[in-house]
Amino acid sequence: MQIIHHAKELRTLLDDTRRRGKRIAVVPTMGNLHQGHIRLVETAVARADFVVSTIFVNPMQFGRNEDLDKYPRTPDADIEKLAAAGCDCLFVPPVDDIYPGGLEQHTVVSVPGISERHCGASRPGHFDGVATVVSKLFNIVQPDTAIFGLKDYQQFQVIRKMTADLCFDIDIVGVATERDRHGLALSSRNGYLSDAEKQTALCLYGTLTQTAGRITQGERDFRALERDATQTFLAHGIRPDYFNICQADTLAPATAEDKRLVILTAAFVGATRLIDNIEVPLTE
């Protein structure tokens, strides 16, 4: 596996790869890789001839008082895992390679509407940072396909809309959330949790699945279901940020007429903010 730090060098490599008729996939990450990330790489390997993974802890998507400085960084372990998964190239750019003039004067890519709800409401500017760095990576790599995890479902839909709106000719692929044997969604932030907090955090997915079951059984008072879920979190010592039942593509509040739903949640277990979701397709 080649390790490259600068965009010019990566472009030279990929120009040659493209001339040889190879299909290129990109897997953007912020490092501290777990099995969920590796599943993305394995999906990319199955769909392309040449796989580029990126590791970049993007300062533009972190707000004030968020965990940029303490975000876990495990470069040696990440390299070992990516090589074992069949990644061909790792791109690890320095911040000044991505934002050479600094953040304050940098062009920002903003995806209206879908970015403003849920995590966008709780973390203003977060998805502007995501959309900006992903669009830059797309321009640097110029991949045929890009692989993202569905654990951050809103991020996935923001990137899908950005890709369509900006006419990127890239196939955007979502991969199902990887969970531990108890159902907890794998996340780099799980490392902040104590053993007791990990047990408490299981309530997130449990409440999602219980609410999804009530919907499939015919309940349609979505706002009441959201309130019930919030009360369940509070009863377990979890501080809810939001628990929202949405139309699966627009992420607008679901109505009784919608047939494709997703339930999105974010909540604090101790000091750690976790996100999770579950899709609820309806046939009636």
Q: Are residues 246 and 142 in the same domain?
A: no
In a domain, 256, yes or no: yes
Q: Are residues 152 and 56 in the same domain?
A: yes
* Chain segment 215-252, per-residue pLDDT in tens: 999 999 999 999 999 999 999 999 999 999 999 999 99
The contacts of residue 57 (CB under 8 Å, 6+ apart) are 30, 31, 68, 71, 73
* CATH assignment of the domain containing 57: 3.40.50.620
Which of 150, 175, 200 is where one domain is finished? 175
What pLDDT is attached to residue 284? Answer: 59
37 is catalytic: yes
Residue 144's pLDDT band (cuts 50, 70, 90): very high
* Chain segment 150-209, per-residue pLDDT in tens: 999 999 999 999 999 999 999 999 999 999 999 999 999 999 999 999 999 999 999 999
Residue 15's pLDDT band (cuts 50, 70, 90): very high
Q: Are residues 167 and 213 in the same domain?
A: no
Q: For residue 59, is it left (φ>0), alpha (ψ between -120 and 50) or beta?
A: alpha
Contact between 88 and 51 under an 8 Å Cβ cutoff? The reply is yes
C-alpha to C-alpha distance for 250 and 237, rounded to whole angstroms: 31
The contacts of residue 109 (CB under 8 Å, 6+ apart) are 128, 131, 132, 135, 162, 166
In a domain, 181, yes or no: no
**pLDDT surpasses 80 at 283:** no
What pLDDT is attached to residue 69? Answer: 83
Q: Are residues 19 and 145 in the same domain?
A: yes
Tell which residue, 200, 201, 196, 206, has the closest CA to residue 228: 206
Tell me which residue range forms the domain holding 243: 188-274
Q: Are residues 202 and 232 in the same domain?
A: yes
Q: Are residues 84 and 213 in the same domain?
A: no
pTM of the model: 0.95
* Chain segment 101-118, per-residue pLDDT in tens: 999 999 999 999 999 999
Q: Between the CA of residue 22 and those of 4, 161, 172, what are the distances in Å? A: 19, 26, 18
Q: Are residues 120 and 203 in the same domain?
A: no
Q: Are residues 42 and 113 in the same domain?
A: yes
Structural domain total, the chain = 2
Q: Are residues 7 and 73 in the same domain?
A: yes
What pLDDT is attached to residue 70? Answer: 81
In a domain, 280, yes or no: no
Q: Which of these is catalytic: 5, 6, 34, 37? A: 37
What pLDDT is attached to residue 68? Answer: 84
The arithmetic mean of pLDDT across residues 129-155, rounded, is: 98
Q: Are residues 211 and 169 in the same domain?
A: no
**pLDDT surpasses 80 at 98:** yes
What pLDDT is attached to residue 72? Answer: 86
* Chain segment 78-88, per-residue pLDDT in tens: 999 999 999 99
Phi, psi for 113 (deg, rounded to 5):
80, -80
Which of 143, 175, 207 is where one domain is finished? 175
Q: Are residues 250 and 207 in the same domain?
A: yes
Which of 144, 175, 206 is where one domain is finished? 175
* Chain segment 17-71, per-residue pLDDT in tens: 999 999 999 999 999 999 999 999 999 999 999 999 999 999 999 987 777 888 8
